[in-house]
Structure 1
Amino acid sequence: MAMSTLESLPNEILINIFEKYINGVDIIIAFIDQQNQRFNGLIMQCRHHNFNFVNCQKDCFHYCINFLPNYIGKIKKLVLSDHNTPGQISTFLLRFPLLHNFRNIHRLSINFNAETVSWIRIRNALRSLSTTNIHTLIINVIHMERPSRLNYINYDMFDLQSIKRIDLLSDISYDDWGLLPTLFSKIEHLTSIRMSCDFQYLCSILQNAFHLKYLNVRLDSSSLSRFFKPYQHTNDSIISIPVLHTFLLSFQSTDPTTFEKLAYYLRRMPALRRLDIKAHGALLDANAWEALLQTSLPQLTHFRLKTTTSCINNIELENILASFETPFWITKDNFYLIVTKHKYLDTKTLHSYKLQVDNEDEFNQPVIQWWIVPFRNRLDDIPTSDIISFGISGVVRSLSQYYYFNNIEHLVIYDMNEGFSNWILKYINYSQIKYLDISYIDKESNIIALLLLQLKNIISLRIDYQHLVTYKNVYLENNHCMKYLDISVNKHNFNEEDIMMIAQLFPRIEHLIINTNMLENVPLLENYIPHLCSLTSNIIDESFRRYKSYERRLWVDNLRQKFQVSFEFAIDNGMTIWIDQAALNESYWQNK
């Protein structure tokens, strides 16, 4: 059968593809002004487009926003991100400071660093959405200096009349909820990390959330700001939270909430079908949970009670595990207690593909050991479905043969031998692994080489540069479509030969993190790595990590004065630059 080409497809199918399956950025780059009048006409007939600027090359970004006014009224989904592309959002909002002309926008996602874009610009853009029918807002922010500024953004989102879903993720807590309860009535889906209030006050807010169906929140009641005090609610007159069907709730280990208080509010959620609790020791009473679940929550089909070894000691662990091995729990196929042990690492390097706003949450760190009850004497992948970050450390016998990990995306290897390799290939769906960190391994190993041959879908790799050289033949054989490469573990050479090798191994590389004194060769990247979107260089001294916000700003301003060309950069573990020809030709590199 002859293979169809895009040109051979009928107009109706092409319009459907343009509207639903192709990023608007790719449509503009690939089709606009390419002397194909048919495609140009069909694109103009489309009723809506989706534009996702995440990881967009700087030249492509500027090219696209020049054409964007032609499609502005048809944009249904818009995604902007400063991560690995510092200055993208400030550039976009300089061109489109108000968003009211995006009249058909349904979903807006803004992933921003408050050090590279003014929070006032973000506020003005959000408030201008009041004349649209915006349904979903996803705001992901790091380095917001003052909680009060985040509170203002919070109010602006909830005040939008058409809004139904809000996801607000931040690396600081926001704590002024005084005006929000009356605004909750229209919200159906809420994800909120680091809410600075106690559980009782959260539920007092929810009694106004008549339409809330999904709630995912991590309480941070111990995080107090200078400006506000956390609210304490004492009225237990809540009648019902009627349509909430999914509740994901995370407590701090020091949270004072008792089981009785938690149970009181859970009984007022009659439609609850899924309940996930990340708990401290006071909430791990198997008998109390059994009594609650036998008499309440009749619709509940999915229950996960999760904790970590930092919340309980070894003696408590044995007793708690035994208390959940009863006939009640064994007969509930989808009810589990899951205890995990995690190993902390620098999550900014592990998750180099996205802004990381919740580094303090232990559950975001790689799992290196686990205990799951009740034990069902079968190869079980149900209780492990939520584990996406995994660490290989210790001895093989600590790894169970009764659980299969189907959704592991991030794999960190601290130690490796043949037993570990065989276990990974048998009990982990390794085709799902996309982010691999082998930077902690000191010695070269044939086992690592064999494992790398199996992991064919890796898009992000953190590795010592010398090990990269050692295993280069593995990557040449696999022809990986690597997008993120972090070789900043130790100081390394960065000669033209090194750059050529990286380009040969990973021809589609988009983000590169280096740690070198040979920055004068940075301009050579333009010749060898044409798809490079961003470069992060470890120029940060140890004193910078201890700076307060004012000292940090002075340091960054002093660095900025060293550049001849004005461009944005982000400072975290290193200096990240959104790459274009002007940035690569900057004289700063020659003066280092």
Structure 2
Amino acid sequence: MSVTKLESLSNEILLYLIEYYINGVDLFISFLNQLNNRFDALIYRSKRFYFDFTSIRKSEFNICMNILPRYHHIITSLTLSERDTPGQIHSFLCSFRSFEQFKKLRRLHLDFDANSVDLIDEALHSILKTRIHTLSIKGKNVRSLFEFNCVLLAILTLTRIQRFYLSVDIQPVFCYFPSLNLIYLQYLTIEGRGCTWNNVEQILKYAVHLIYLNVRIIEESLNSIESINDQENNYQLLTKLHTLIFEFIDDYSSITFDKLKYYFNLMPNLYQLEITDTAGQYRSMNNWKILFQTSLPLLKKFIFKIGRLFLSNENISDMLASLEDSFWIEKNNYQIYFITHDYTDDDNIILYYYPIDARLNRNNCQNKYENNLQVWSIGQHAMKQSYSQIDSIVNLYHSGKSCLLPTEHYFNNVKHLEIDHLNSFSFEWMTKHIDLSNITELVITHTDHNSNIIGLLIECTTSIISLQIHLKQLISLRKILMTINKSVQRLDISIDRHSFRKKDIKIISYLFPSIEHLKINTTKLDNLPFLTIYLTSLRSLTFKFVYSFKTLMRNIRQEQLNHILCPDNQYLLTQSKQSITLWIDQSTFQQHIWRSFQSVHKQQSTKRELSEVHLSKCICC
């Protein structure tokens, strides 16, 4: 069978592909003025484009910015992201200060750092003058924006937003606005710092056409909450609500199960319910059983994640005993997990799971403190499957030091896998109980120094896009990996401080030639210019310091840093607590830039060492 070429397709099909399926970035970079007059004519005839600038090369972004003014009025979907490309949104808004210019824009996705985007306030205000129906906002340092909450409420109230995703480092406020109008809102997700229960009540009161609601509830409100009796005349039935996800984090003791029950009674057609209960407040399985039988007759899928930290062994035994009821055993799509949780530096929440399968007979509980996957393994009921398929766990942490591993579970949808103390036994377990072909993000921390096992794991995870690993472990893979991995785009070798030699760069380029984003941890920056020779696909570089970056920044003003790293404003950077990320191009690796910066860094490091010596002498005196 001959392979169908793109050129053999009809103009009608090609035009449809251009307008609905091909990213405008690819059209401008790979098609326009690159193939033939026919394709150029089809692009000129197109009446709509979508553009996703996520992780774009800086040089390609500049090309698009030069061409975009001729086509911006027919863009229907736009994604701008500063993840790994700091300064992208700032550069875009310098050319297009208002989204009002995009007359056909219906979908907008923004991922920004408010500290590095001077024009974001004006841009957010301009959304009010658009006809956008899908909006996604993910931001850091949002508290520095002027009246962000007011702008947010105005967007939801005065526009026809139907789908809204929000993840910022402040809590949005939906309370105390009597004119709040959310009648067009159908899909709402609030992550990041989440919101208070009072805000959730306002959402349930005014967004009467919700189909999907996913909210992280960080804490209870400090203000008094209306009693249920006062609310009964103020809420309508949420007949369209299909999926509800509540993630309760931290202190929410005033939100009783009865209060939850009141709102569940407003959702007669609820199909899927997911509850994360980090404090174990809603652990009574009997309460859930009665609720489902009396108020949620159409519920087909229930996922309950309950905090392990606040549960006693007696609490766990009571829960497991309740799950022996035939009601739970018959529910194949009801899943219950014990969890622990932790926070990342950017306010994301990591959940570690302890699966429980209600279809297994659990009449005894063994406490295994060293387990990262807590499992109660007793004799089974008659089951059709030997493994319990778990598809609701996307992020999984696994340690080779666990003395007990689950044998009856199969994790078929894990995307992010973190491995600690990898050894031959844990690798064998993973090959049997995790679908490694689905892994896109792999983190390997401590190992038993067996490079062969690491090589086998990387070869099994054929779809990984992101890899975090020690540099020494990576170097040892040079003679072990049988095939070159072209799928890895993000490489993080910053776990430990290391020297960054030219030889190391060559090995990385050999093993992972398609690296686009690299994170290192070194004070030796003089070899960085070799990156442009060996890692030709590289788009961003993040580097850590052995000394506190915060201390360094107290002594180096932002203007001085920009002057050193950004001569003639050729590229921009973003800063975190101990690292710098650069959106790179050819000029980034000019040798004199890194010599200047490294000399400043060494000066500040020497000052710190002298200061510590002086302090120690004072203490001794």
| 1:579 and 2:584 aligned | yes
Map residues 341-360 of structure 1 onto 2, 5 A cutoff: 341=340, 357-359=346-348
| Kept in 1: contact 2:23–2:50 (CA 8 A) | yes
* Counterpart check, 1:254 vs 2:251: yes
Residue 353 of structure 1: aligned partner: none
User: Would the aligned equivalents of 1:539 and 1:575 in 2 still touch at CA under 8 Å?
Assistant: no
Match of 1:373 in 2: 358
Residue 311 to residue 69, structure 1, CA distance change in 2 (3 Å): farther
Q: Distance in 1 between matches of 2:460 and 2:203?
A: 50
Partner SS for 1:137:
strand
* SS of the residue 1:140 aligns to: strand
Normalised by the length of structure 2, the TM-score is 0.85
Q: Structure 2 CA distance, aligned partners of 1:371 and 1:552?
A: 50
1:325 and 2:324 aligned = yes
Residue 232 (1) aligns with residue 230 (2): no
Q: Is the 8 A contact 1:97 1:124 kept in 2?
A: yes
Residues 137-156 of structure 1 show CA distances to partners (whole Å, capped at 9, x for unaligned) of 00001122348743134224
Judging changes above 3 Å, is the alpha-carbon distance between structure 1 residues 562 and 232 closer, same or farther for their aligned structure 2 residues?
farther
- Distance verdict in 2 for CA 1:538–1:149, change over 3 Å: farther
Q: Quote how far apart the aligned CAs of 1:191 are.
A: 0.4
Q: Any conservation in 2 of the 1:123–1:156 contact (CA below 8 Å)? A: no
Q: Secondary structure at the match of 1:587?
A: helix
SS at match of 1:482: coil
Deviations 1:114-173 (A, max 9, x none): 22113xx32322332334321100000112234874313422431342211110001332
Residues 336 and 374 in structure 1, CA contact (< 8 A), matched pair in contact too: no
Structure-2 separation of matches of 1:25 and 1:180:
43
- For residues 6 and 337 of structure 1, the distance between their equivalents in structure 2, rounded to whole angstroms, comes to 49
Q: Which amino acid aligns with 2:239?
A: P
Q: Give the match for residue 49 of structure 1.
A: 49
* Residue deviations 1:504-530 (CA, integer Å, cap 9, x gap): 222111001111222012122122212
Residue in 2 aligned with 1:104? 104
Take 1:478 and 1:492, find their aligned partners in 2: how far apart are those partners? 24
- Conserved in 1, the CA contact under 8 Å of 2:280 and 2:308? no
Read off the aligned partner of 1:139 and give its amino acid letter.
Answer: I
Distance 1:374 1:171, change over 3 A: farther
Distance in 2, Cα, partners of 1:215 & 1:552: 43
Deviation at 1:416, TM superposition (A): 2.1
1:166-193 Cα deviation digits (max 9, x unpaired): 1000133233633376221211110012
Give distance in 2, aligned partners of 1:332 and 1:160: 43
Deviation for aligned residue 1:409: 1.0
**Aligned-partner Cα distance in 1 for 2:446–2:400:** 13
Contact (CA 8 Å) 2:213, 2:244: kept in 1 or not?
A: yes
2:149 aligns to what? 151
Higher relative contact order, chain-length normalized (CA < 8 Å, sep 6+) = 1
Q: Is the 8 A contact 2:157 2:180 kept in 1?
A: no
1: distance between equivalents of 2:268 and 2:314? Answer: 36
Q: 1:584 to 1:395 in 2, by over 3 A?
A: closer
- Which secondary structure state, in structure 2, belongs to the residue aligned with residue 532 of structure 1? coil
| Rounded Cα–Cα distance in structure 2 between residues aligned with 1:391 and 1:173 | 29
> SS of the counterpart of 2:456?
helix
| Post-superposition CA distance 1:512-551 (Å, at most 9, x none) | 1111222012122122212110000113733728x9xxx8
Q: Could you tell me how far apart the structure 2 residues matched to 1:166 and 1:379 are?
A: 41
Does the Cα contact within 8 Å between 1:339 and 1:372 map onto a contact in 2? no
Structure 1 289/13 Cα, relative in aligned 2: closer, same or farther at 3 Å? Answer: same
Residue 124 of structure 1: aligned partner: 122
Superposed, 1:152-301 pairs within 5 Å as 152-175=150-173, 177-179=175-177, 182-193=180-191, 198-199=196-197, 202-221=200-219, 232-234=225-227, 235-237=230-232, 238-256=235-253, 257-279=255-277, 280-301=279-300
CA distance in 2: counterparts of 1:398 and 1:388, whole angstroms: 21
Sequence identity of aligned pairs in percent? 34
Structure 1: segments with no counterpart, 5+ residues: 349-356
Distance 1:181 1:500, change over 3 A: farther
For residue 562 of structure 2, what is the aligned residue in structure 1? 560
Structure 1 residue 558: Cα displacement = 4.5
Paired positions, count: 566
Q: Which residue of 1 aligns with 2:133?
A: 135
Distance in 1, Cα, partners of 2:102 & 2:388: 43
Q: In the TM superposition, what is the alpha-carbon distance from 1:432 to its structure 2 partner?
A: 0.5
Q: Separation in 2 of the partners of 1:417 and 1:210?
A: 53
| CA-based RMSD | 2.6
Measured in 2, the distance between the counterparts of 1:543 and 1:436 equals: 27
TM-score by length of 1: 0.89
Which residues of structure 2 form unaligned runs of 5+?
Answer: 361-380, 599-621
Residues 180, 150 of structure 1: CA spacing in aligned structure 2 closer, same or farther, 3 A cutoff? farther
Letter in 1 for 2:574: A
Structure 1 counterpart of 2:72, one-letter code: I
Amino acid of the structure 2 residue aligned with 1:274: Q
